[in-house]
Amino acid sequence: MGLGGCIILIAVGAILTFATDWDMQGVNLDLVGIIFMIVGLIGVATFSSIAKRRRVVVPPSTPVIDEERHHNPGGYGGV
């Protein structure tokens, strides 16, 4: 589940908790909404921590030498 799915879970949970007035036998929709919001928040936290680890850029350990810059046969200024 990606970031979008987590945000949808939070939104659906908030709607069930705060915006509905339905009564179902055996199901407490306020509790279901709170559970959805908690699961969505846990998902956002997990996704953001994984995304932070992916963004780490390690510089190369050896310098990169561009060979084309040093070798110019027959081009402008070349012999």
Tens of pLDDT, residues 22-46: 888 999 999 999 999 999 999 999 9
> Residue 14: inside a domain, yes or no?
yes
In the predicted structure, residue 76 carries a pLDDT above the cut 70 = no
Amino acid at 9: L
- Condensed to tens digits (0 to 9), the pLDDT of residues 41-65 reads 999 999 988 877 766 666 667 766 6
pLDDT band of residue 8 (cuts 50, 70, 90) is very high
> Residue 42: inside a domain, yes or no?
yes
User: Residue 15 has what pLDDT?
Assistant: 96
| Structural domain count, the chain | 1
> Residue 18: inside a domain, yes or no?
yes
> Residue 71: inside a domain, yes or no?
no
* Full residue range of the structural domain in which residue 15 is found: 3-51
CA torsion, ordered 34, 4, 49, 51, to nearest 10 deg: 180
Q: What is the mean pLDDT of residues 58-73?
A: 63
